[in-house]
């Protein structure tokens, strides 16, 4: 159970860090004059990364609830499906970010 708590806490912390960096990036770009309506690239950038950030936020909330359940000892093997589905969702969000990062940050 200790490994589960550490790994879940790390996932939640990394997700919160990602959200914080996205907020910083959005505000930094906005102060530089790159708003949502500046051009097609900015609309595409804010829409794609914003939707991804929303999904990361949902994932952090979900993983946080699983972490709390595990910490309280209320995550027996019979309820492991919630953990499995949350992990699959989190990995899907990771794969989407790899694609978005490649397309938006590396290819443009």
Q: Taking the domains of the chain in order of start, what are their residue ranges?
A: 2-106
Q: d(Cα 82, Cα 52) in Å, to the nearest integer?
A: 22
CB 93 within 8 Å of CB 49: no
Mean local confidence (pLDDT), 86-101: 96
pLDDT at 98: 96
d(CA 99, CA 104): 8
Could you give the residue ranges of the DSSP H alpha helices within 32-79?
40-71
- Domain 2-106 bears CATH identifier 3.40.50.300: no
Tell me if 91 sits within 8 A of 11, measured CB to CB. Answer: no
pLDDT tens column, 35-76: 999 999 999 999 999 999 999 999 999 999 999 999 999 988
3-state secondary structure of 1: coil
């Amino acid at each position: 159970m200790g490994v589960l708590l550490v790994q879940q806490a790390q996932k939640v912390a990394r997700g919160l860090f990602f959200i914080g960096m996205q907020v910083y990036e959005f505000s930094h770009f906005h102060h530089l004059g790159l708003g949502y309506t500046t051009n097609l690239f900015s609309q595409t950038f804010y829409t794609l990364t914003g939707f991804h950030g929303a999904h990361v936020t949902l994932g952090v909330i979900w993983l946080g609830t699983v972490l709390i359940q595990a910490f309280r000892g209320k995550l027996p093997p019979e309820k492991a499906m919630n953990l499995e589905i949350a992990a699959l969702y989190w990995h899907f969000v990771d794969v989407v970010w790899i694609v978005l990062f490649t397309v938006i940050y590396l290819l443009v």
